[in-house]
Amino acid sequence: MRLLHFDGERLVLTDFRGKIIPPYAILSHRWSDSEVLLEDLGRDTYKEKDGYGKIEFCAAQAARDGLQYFWIDTCCIDKWNRRERSKAINSMFRWYKDAARCYVFLSDVSAAADAPQNAWEAFFLASKWFSRGWTLQELIAPASVEFFSCEGRRIGDKTSLEPLVHAKTGIPVRALRNGPLDEFTVNERRDWAKNRKTTEEEDAVYCLLGILDVVIPAAYGEGKERAWRRLQTELEAAGSAPSIIPFSQNDQFVGRESQLTELEAKLFEHNRATKMAIVGPPGTGKSQLALEIAHRARQRNRNCCVFWIDASDTDSLYRSYESITRKLGIPGWDDEKADSRQLAKAYLGGNGKRRYLLVFDNVDDMSLGSTDLSDYVPQSEQSAVLYTTTNRDTAKEFVAPNILQLKEMSLSTAQRMLANHMKASLSPSEQQEAQLLLHELSYLPLAIVQAAAYINIRGITLQQYRSLVARQREAVPGHDSEAPKNRPQENDITGPVATTLLISLDQLRGDNDLATVYLSLAACMDRKDILLDLLPAASPREREEAVKVLSGYGLVTRRPAESSLDLHQLVHRALREWLQRQGQLDEWTGNAVKELYRVFPNNDHSSRSKWRRLLPHGKYALSHGLAEQGGGERLELAWKCAMVLYDDGRWAEAEQLFVQVMETRKRVLGDEHPDTLTSMANLALTYRNQGRWKEAEQLGVQVMETSSRVLVMETSSRVLGDEHPDTLTSMNNLAFTLKGQGLYNTAIPLLEQCYRLRQQTLGPKHPYTVSSFEALQAWRADNVSLNPA
């Protein structure tokens, strides 16, 4: 938990994780369009925001009440950190309950000094604060709740205004007085929120978590109804084995009964360790089948833990394991330096008495960058592991011969799916048209969903949509150069999903050009967690409308609370092919690079959550574009990405970008420019951290343009001067490289020279000087022990 306080005129944010939390005040309010966010606190302009007035009010009132610290949701939670945000949602009720004072700031209630109650009472009862979902727990949880007007004047508290609050909200007095909430039924507590509104539909459920004493991970984008079902499942499963299934059971799931039967029989037979894989092309419903299995496993065996793991890339895998360690309360789960994957593997592998099912979704390669997935799969006699993948060879490596090949959906199942997604029921005369359309869509679930969305929005008939399909395929012949050649239904731009996408695109170009711009940008970034901040707009409202249009057509999946969206891989691939055919892929890649450079932070620790989310997009845009795209922004983005990868210990990935930056700077700036030397020095450090001593040494020599290792300084000296800090850094780095090769007799004199110069230029107490001295002492001792007289 972070808390705010003022040190003189300076606003200070203190992290109390792992520490005793001091008494604090907490603010309840409605968000405006200009709130001070956590990321704003590092800038000098946050005082210019309208929301700063509420910070000043809360601080002043807390001081009057003898409290130094206070908490405000706008700037005490890192919105970029998905793990922190989900944890905060589940902790909010407790934070308000534990607060010494809760101040309700009513921005729409005015009360003059010493005004009688009847002067402001009507405004108080009409305040929008009473209509919001999240303010319900902010009213119920704290023992002390005080109400203030927009002028900051106190108009009463929960006790003195109890008759008015009870009449307005319908909440029983016993609950308002902090009586035990379990005295009220779940339905009674749900009713307290029935007339309240939230910005995101899922928050209508999440705002009740504390009131119902339930913990579930936030899964924004799932919709209100699914969130309710997941909440209900958690309530019913109280006391059963802990599980994480981030998606609700799909009410529109149809068919696949024979596959379900086979999976259930093999995964859970004889109570022994079993591994299986579902294999099939993208868009065929592998994840939906696995999701159905996961929910059935939990429903039929309440002692079985079920954990869903996104294995599509390294970052997603890591976040999934973090959720598991937190859910199970594994010691070390809250240590940022701990490897959650190893913690979970050891815990689950050593807990032989508990049965569990692990679902690894979207496994297309055993090797996720530098991560070998097989290294993190727990081994236990009670384990059942299910993989979904498009790659049969990958499935063989994991589970051969237990592979379930997902075949084309049957006509009857496809008909049921189409009917489930259509607003209007299909008449008997439309059944033949439905069969023809489904055949043209290859019975592919994703294409069926997008077609139904278009038909519903445009209000057209199935026959009319079939005509659009025919015209689209006539207009765009050819093959998709990016698609794998062993998947015919997705090989070209006339494939089912590409066809339904392009039909929607044709309509969007006339209805909402901004939505088309967003799709074009998204095609040039990683397809998951595309931040809305990357999508330019004249106003937040304009951006929101464009994203709603895309969501309505089934082209994107929203993550509202994370302010981002996802694209299905088939949609992403078809968009890139479409841009290529239009001759615009290079242009839009350059545009994506510019937007990424605009929001990408430097590699300071305080921005770690933000750059970790942006990094996959930066890497994708840089790897798929030409060096000339994006101009100077591309070079600077590559440098930023390389630096954050280096700080994250991902040496091999950092190396690739450092090489790009170095070669470009050599070509544009010359070998002796300070920026070129910095690039080369960082690349040398990357080699060194990978134990590639010779390469690090050779590059160090190249940096300094000398014929010996020690002369590494001469080039830097000509450009920067013998005592320039960058020159000393180069000298220090080369010394470490030489020492890493065991060349103490060369490394020690070089570090001695560096230490003397740092004393002269930086001073004896500077951290760099102290670091050089400590290293020098240790090296001398090592050298003596290795080479005794």
How far, CA to CA in Å, does 416 sit from each of 254, 409, 429, 451, 458?
A: 7, 11, 16, 14, 21
Q: Is the pLDDT of residue 495 over 90?
A: no
Q: Which DSSP letter does residue 333 get?
A: T
Cα separation, 455 vs 464, in Å, equals: 9
Query: Which pLDDT tens digit goes with each residue over 302-311?
Result: 778 889 988 8
* Mean predicted confidence (pLDDT) in 343-350: 82
How confident is the model at residue 483, as a pLDDT? 41
Return the pLDDT at 718: 44
Mean pLDDT of the chain: 81
Q: Which distant-in-sequence residues (6+ apart) come within 8 Å of 765 by Cβ?
A: none
Reported as a single tens digit per residue, the pLDDT across 646-687 is 877 777 888 888 887 777 777 777 766 667 767 777 777 777
Mention every residue, 6+ apart, whose C-beta is less than 8 A from residue 179: none
Crossing angle of helices 445-458 and 462-475, in 10° steps, is: 120
Residues 402, 273: Cα–Cα separation, whole Å:
12
Class of domain 239-404: alpha beta
Cα distance from N-terminal residue to C-terminal residue, the chain: 57
CB 26 within 8 A of CB 90: no
pLDDT at 209 over 50: yes
- The H or E element that residue 25 is part of is strand 24-28
Contacts of 602 (CB under 8 A, 6+ apart): 640, 643
Residue range 314-341: mean pLDDT, rounded: 79
Determine what percent of the chain is predicted with pLDDT higher than 70: 85
| Amino acid in position 344 | A
Domain residue limits, the chain: 2-199, 239-404, 411-583, 670-786
State pLDDT tens for residues 377-411: 887 777 888 999 988 888 888 887 888 888 878 88
Same fold, 239-404 and 670-786: no
- Contact yes or no for 684/654 (Cβ under 8 A): no
Identify the band that residue 225 occupies on the pLDDT scale cut at 50, 70 and 90: confident
The pLDDT of residue 407 is 80
Assess contact for 566 and 527: CB atoms under 8 A.
yes
- What is the full DSSP assignment across 81-137? -HHHHHHHHHHHHHHHHH-SEEEEE-TT----TT--HHHHHHHHHT-GGGGBSTHHH
Residue 494 confidence class, pLDDT cut points 50, 70, 90: low
Which fold would CATH assign to domain 670-786?
A: 1.25.40
Q: Give the span between the Cα atoms of 428 and 448, in whole angstroms.
A: 19
Reported as a pLDDT band with limits 50, 70 and 90, residue 482 is very low
Mean of the pLDDT values across residues 91-110?
93
pTM of the model: 0.64
The DSSP letter of residue 197 is B
Whether residue 578 is predicted with pLDDT greater than 80 in this model: the reply is yes
pLDDT at residue 485 above 60? no
Could you report the per-residue pLDDT of 117-150, keeping only the tens digit for each? 677 888 899 999 999 999 999 999 999 999 999 8
Beta bridge partners of 403: 277
Q: What percent of the chain has pLDDT over 90?
A: 22
Give the pLDDT band of residue 362 (cuts 50, 70, 90): confident
677 in helix, strand or coil? helix
Q: How many CB atoms lie within 10 A of CB 15?
A: 10
Mean per-residue pLDDT, 320-325: 84
Q: Over 50: is that where the pLDDT of 724 sits?
A: yes
Average pLDDT over residues 683-706: 70
- pLDDT tens for 530-543 read 888 888 888 777 88
pLDDT at residue 107 greater than cutoff 70: yes
Residue 479: pLDDT over 50: no
